[in-house]
Structure 1
């Protein structure tokens, strides 16, 4: 297998044109390759600057999970810290988790940030939404969002060998009209459901929770709602 490490977007495009397979941290594909055979060409974005940004409003797809720190909103930092073991977090990447993983522990966090994705295709860089990223699985360069007022994340305990544990993420954003908007996303099994509610200074938690229940979140199991309620109450205090 020929493994390339492009240093520029144009070099990465050349790799795509040569049908090189993106490997990220290889935590998800290594066992499959050992069983089914290795590709002729592969590439890693670990040396590509555009895929390694870390900041208040951006996170690169090639960033390994243990580098996701206080520079990003709490919801992303806390999400990354709960994924796998320390050994996994030292090799697994943001892009691999969102694009390649069935669990997608970072996806609820990215959804409540209302993040947009920059993806690399053979004809250049394009910006798209997370729905297209999860459906088409393109090469993720980076995520970008507008910094929230506050955010929260919790992964509930799960049973060993059982279904994926519930994940609850929330973020409070300042809207242009002077009001705020609270976004909530929940991973229930392998599905991720999300909703949002506008909230003014005098909006109480019950109003927001009722608005969320009227959306897709109304289908969530009962055990998700105590955590959603706690996060809504906490974040409204930052409005």
Structure 2
């Protein structure tokens, strides 16, 4: 297998046109390739500047998870810190987790930030939403968002070999008209639910409103975890 390491967008597009398979951090594809056979060409974005950015409001797809720090909102930094083991986080990438994984531990955090994606096609670079990225498995270059007022992330304990543990992500962002809104995303099994409600009147009213959304259909234990998480988040001073 030839591993290609493009250093510019045009080089990456050339690799795509010639059939190179994106590998992310290779933590998920390697075992499958050992069983099913390796492709003739693979491509890593680890040398592409646009895919390696870490800054306020921007995170590159080739950034390995253990490099993610307080330059990004708490919800996203904590999500990255809970993925796998330390060894996994030293190799797994943002793009691999979001696009190449069925668990997508970073997805709830990205959703509550209302993150947009910059993606690479063979003939253009363009921005789109996460739903399109996941549905069409685009080659992700980077994520972009406006920093929230406050945010938090929680992954509940899970059983080894059992279903994916429950994940709750939440963020408060200023919406239209200057009013604050609470955005919540929950990974329940392999499904992710997300919605938003007003929160200026306090946690009790926000939770009552959230109960009328899709998130309110969660089974009682999961809904209890959401209520607790939201209560703690809205009790914080409003800051990043």
**Corresponding residue number in structure 1 for 2:46:** 46
Question: What is the rounded CA distance, in whole Å, between the counterparts of 2:164 and 2:199 in structure 1?
Answer: 31
How far the C-alpha of 1:227 sits from its partner, in A, is: 2.8
Structure 1 range deviating more: 183-192 or 221-230: 221-230
Q: Give the TM-score normalised by the residue count of structure 1.
A: 0.96
Question: What is the rounded CA distance, in whole Å, between the counterparts of 2:64 and 2:134 in structure 1?
Answer: 19
Structure 1 range deviating more: 208-217 or 66-75: 208-217
Q: Give the TM-score normalised by the residue count of structure 2.
A: 0.96
**Corresponding residue number in structure 2 for 1:128:** 128
Question: What is the rounded CA distance, in whole Å, between the counterparts of 1:88 and 1:46 in structure 2?
Answer: 16
**Corresponding residue number in structure 2 for 1:140:** 140
The reply to whether residue 108 of structure 1 matches residue 108 of structure 2 is yes
Structure 2 SS opposite 1:165: coil
Q: Runs of at least 4 residues of structure 1 off by over 3 A?
A: none
Contact 1:166–1:186 under 8 Å retained in 2: yes
How far the C-alpha of 1:228 sits from its partner, in A, is: 1.9
Structure 1, unmatched stretches of 5+, are none
Question: What is the rounded CA distance, in whole Å, between the counterparts of 2:233 and 2:86 in structure 1?
Answer: 29
How far the C-alpha of 1:199 sits from its partner, in A, is: 2.6
Structure 2, unmatched stretches of 5+, are none
How far the C-alpha of 1:43 sits from its partner, in A, is: 0.7
Question: What is the rounded CA distance, in whole Å, between the counterparts of 2:128 and 2:117 in structure 1?
Answer: 5
**Corresponding residue number in structure 2 for 1:15:** 15
**Corresponding residue number in structure 2 for 1:186:** 186
**Corresponding residue number in structure 1 for 2:166:** 166
**Corresponding residue number in structure 1 for 2:207:** 209
**Corresponding residue number in structure 2 for 1:89:** 89
**What is the RMSD computed on CA atoms of the aligned residues?**
1.1
Contact 2:216–2:223 under 8 Å retained in 1: no
**Corresponding residue number in structure 2 for 1:235:** 233
**Corresponding residue number in structure 1 for 2:60:** 60
Contact 1:168–1:224 under 8 Å retained in 2: no
Question: What is the rounded CA distance, in whole Å, between the counterparts of 2:208 and 2:83 in structure 1?
Answer: 31
Q: How many residues align?
A: 237
